[in-house]
Amino acid sequence: MSDGAREAREFVRLALHLDRLAPGLVGAHLGEPDVRRAVDDEPVVAPADLAARARALAVDVGSAGLPAHRRDVLLAQLAAAGCTALRLAGGVVPYRREIELCLGVAVEPGDEDGYRAAHRELDALLPGPGRLAERLAAYRRADELAPDRLLPAVRALSGALRERVGPAYALPVDESVVFEVVPEAPWAALHQHRGRHHSTVRLNGSARVRAGQLAQLVAHEAYPGHHTELCRTQDGPLAHGEGEHAVTLVLSPCSTVAEGLADSGLSAAVGPGWGAWAGEVLGGVGVRTDGELAERIDRVMEGLLPVRQDAALLLHDRRAGEDAARRHLRRWLLVDERRADRMLSFLTHPIWRAYTTAYVEGFRLVQRHVGTEPSVAGARHAALVGRPTTPALLAVDPAPVARAG
């Protein structure tokens, strides 16, 4: 029987070698810096050899006698790493199989009747002349945050969320998040680990962030999202000997759950009425937004979450082409061509083309798991943050609260 230390070290090395081939595959390295430096000083390993390493290590993990949860999480991550390495080597993996291996879920196209119902709800929330797409665009433009108010607004929401999250999520006293604005980026916000218990969240100053969406963004990236997740991982599984969690492998089933937890973080931390709460916090720094309307629209837009996944399936499974995917995005998400093209650039990326599923299925999975009763949902959410798991394990875990701590 093994304590898993050797298998953990080999997994970390494998992930870091993959990251050299496709930077960004390791979202954070929580281990000692000299481990990464040592890997960076070694010759680059061919992706086919990394795929073979992943298969061999999976055999070792399967026979190491590890606790079931730890074994299954590590095996799922090795399957994902092996699939990614195979694709980097030029291997062909059917798209749906790629999603199953890399993100741990099976996917199907969304329900267009559900999309129509969401459009009817939006139509009622945004009355007036003109097409619904035009009214939605006008609402979003009116809610755009002035660039000079972005950092004050983010810092106010971050502080207010931290007060709510700190005790429930056992945040360490020395943790911190620094927010920075960059002039141009392909994302609205990006979380980056900066050492033990410390993070930086970079904000895209050109993204025309809306005041009504800002609380969701801060919760996703910081409290109780990715920053909180890494703090708890460091003080929990990693500190207790599960050395494989020194890296976060982005294309893995664990990321599906992690993205779902981050996207549901605001509702877990604040609960129903988060829109009015956020509006009050923002009002304290001179930012005006209709938080209640933002919350209602956000709830309706949840019904349109699978649209981007549909577009990915059109592209890579049905091979219907970019024009068909663009039409689908514009029709159901009510976006203009420029915004649809930005979505397509992500959906057609050779490495990240499947990752939209992590947001879509992760959110739905976590929402089903934690439930809608605020007193229960908050505790279940807190129990899961920082305890890496997979969709398959979450589906058979009836009482995550019992495992908290």
Query: What is the DSSP annotation of 186-230?
Result: SSSEEEEE-STTEEEEEEETTS--BGGGHHHHHHHHTSSSHHHHH
How confident is residue 1, by pLDDT bands cut at 50, 70 and 90? Answer: low
What is the distance between the alpha carbons of residues 59 and 47, in angstroms, rounded to a whole number? 19
Taking the CA atoms of 212, 214, 219 and 225 in sequence, report the sign of the dihedral they define.
positive
**Tally of CB atoms within 10 A around 155:** 15
Number of separate domains in the chain: 1
Residue 317 backbone phi and psi in degrees, to 5: -100, -55
- What residue numbers bound the domain in which 269 lies? 112-403
- pLDDT on residue 399: 46
Q: Is 284 exposed, middle or buried (0-12, 13-18, 19+ CB in 10 A)?
A: exposed
Rounded Cα gap, residues 271 and 373, in angstroms: 9
pLDDT above 90 (res 269): yes
- The whole-chain average pLDDT of the chain stands at 94
How far, in Å, CA of 254 to CA of 373, rounded? 25
Residue-wise over 108-136: b if at least 16 C-beta within 10 A, else e?
Answer: eebeeeebeebbeebeeebeeeeeebebb
Any domain includes 17 = no
Q: What are the pLDDT digits (tens) for 8-59?
A: 999 999 999 999 999 999 999 999 999 999 999 999 999 999 999 999 999 9
pLDDT at 156 over 60: yes
pLDDT at 188: 84
Q: What's the mean pLDDT in 145-158?
A: 95
What the block records as the tokens of 224 is 């109780």
Say which amino acid occupies 24.
G
Q: Let me know if residue 123 belongs to a domain.
A: yes
- Predicted structure pTM score: 0.95
Residue range 188-208, pLDDT digits in tens = 889 999 999 999 999 998 888
- Any domain includes 334: yes
Torsion sign (Cα): 224, 230, 232, 233: positive
